[in-house]
Amino acid sequence: MALSFVSSPSVVSRETGSELGGALVGEPASGALPAWPVQRVFAPLLGATSAAINETWLTDQAVTSGFREGISWRRTDGLLYGVLQLDEADFDATRGSTRLQAASEEAYRRIFRLLDAERVPHLWRVWNYLAAINLDIHGLERYRQFNVGRQEAFLKCHRGATGNVPAACAIGLAGGPLSIAFMAGTTPAVPLENPRQVSAYNYPPDYGPRSPTFSRGALVYPEGQEILFISGTASIIGHETVSPGDVAGQCRESMANIDAVVVEANRLCRSGPFSLGELSYRVYVRQATDFRVIRETLAPLIGKANIVYVQADICRHDLLLEIEAMASHSLEEA
């Protein structure tokens, strides 16, 4: 299999030449980061035996590396993984624009310029992290400011803001820069939507001046593989939050939405069907005190699937958790 995903409680510093990129999640002791592109996600792990985990994408193909406009990246012939961090303080707030909006737009403009230069045009999956995601500044919540900047970049770089847009998450951390990791390919993704929900890019103006620019999931095709990415998924039906204040109810509703995306993926996939039990999950939990209830609620739904729990903020004040997931199949065995 050309691309694989591994998770380890230790920080890997010795390079084997097979690393494409990854993420370091948690609160590890200070030290040098690996040489490959690594997104730092400073957020407490819940129920883990270590303070941090290192998640790495490995490839059996030759890799080339580069650094452009603040983006550390690596690529093979068919895909590219990159990481970018921007400090909002480096951007000016102007009339009708905040520092975060300006930083978000610039971040995505840089990503699109890199993908154009490297001829890897199709953005597959994006991981966005920003500080104080629910804070209202100048009359607009920061998540909504981020959405304005992101969509501006999509439109100005002649990328559609509806339909064929990447799978993504946007998560709030206690502090730090705007951090974006992304995977892109030379072949287009197959975007997935959820019939239980309004597509995020079609949300009404109640949720801000610009809709979020992401699909509910995506099927992507590295050489010989089919990977299912499920975007950050929460307790939303239509476009409204359901089960406010009920963390178990929100957990069940989030999994019902993930199941709906899996059903859609299985309708379109080229390999054998995906199942909830084979997915690898990352669960973002707003309040650490809810961890036990969430874990107990998930157990009968997904069994012994690989799960990482992270304490972080969600894009709406009334959402108590968000779940993202992924799985990979070999096409050669299909």
Q: Which of 106, 193, 226, 322 is catalytic?
A: 322
Euclidean distance between CA atoms 333 and 42, whole angstroms: 38
Euclidean distance between CA atoms 251 and 117, whole angstroms: 41
Phi, psi of 277 (to 5 degrees): -70, -20
What is the H or E stretch that residue 118 is in? helix 99-118
DSSP for 259-321, please give it: HHHHHHHHHH-SSSPP-GGG-EEEEEES-GGGHHHHHHHHHHHHTT--EEEEE-B-SSTT--E
CA-closest candidate to residue 85, choices 38, 124, 125? 38
Whose tokens are 């992270």? That residue is 310
Active-site residue flag, 322: yes
Q: Which two tokens stand for residue 252?
A: 């069940």
- What percent of the chain is helix, strand and coil (3-state, nearest 5)? 25, 35, 40
Helix (H, G, I), strand (E, B) or coil at 205: helix
Q: How many residues does the chain have?
A: 334
CA angle, corner 187, sides to 185 and 188, nearest 5? 95
Catalytic residues: 322
